[in-house]
Amino acid sequence: MEPVNAAPNPVGPPQPEAVPAISASADRARAELHQEIERVRVGVEEMLAEQSDPVDVDIQRELDDLREDTRLYVKKRLRKSEKRFERSVRKIGERTARLEQRIDQVEADRVAAEYRIHSETERMLDGLLAEVRAIADLLTKER
């Protein structure tokens, strides 16, 4: 099994199929983090509710602050991950466009080369035909 925080090799070329795997791993890790934070928060609230004394306002405020801080932190991390993902997709798109342009150029070069080869071959065959006719004319005149 591949580690959750595995990153692609930065030296090698980007692998498009690796991007969804990383994104899926990040989504799973994010979901697990949410679940764990929520489990701890609920546990603390249940523990406080079980106490015979009413919940201290300061503790409740601290729990609410913790919940809000967690929500903002996760939102910030998610936004950062999305930007990173979009940047990598954009780079892959740019690379794909460059490769397509290169393929188009190679295809155009191939067509031009085929045309040159055909033209040169036709010119060479026309020259050979002219020489053969000239030789045939010489042979028919001498008779």
Average pLDDT across each block of 10 residues of the chain; the chain has 143 residues. List them in order. 48 52 76 82 76 71 86 89 92 96 96 96 96 92 76
pLDDT in the model for residue 89: 94
Q: Which pLDDT value is given to residue 2? A: 46
Domain boundaries, the chain: 18-105
* Residue 1 pLDDT: 44
Instruction: Give the integer Cα–Cα distance in Å for 85 and 81.
Output: 6
Say what the pLDDT of residue 52 is: 57
What's CA 8's distance to the chain center, in Å? 11
State residue 26's pLDDT score.
77
How confident is the model at residue 36, as a pLDDT? 85
Contacting residues for 92 by C-beta, under 8 A, at least 6 apart: 14, 16, 19
The pLDDT, as a whole number, for residue 15 is 52
Interatomic CA distance for residues 133 and 127, integer angstroms: 10
Do the Cβ atoms of 84 and 51 come closer than 8 Å?
A: no
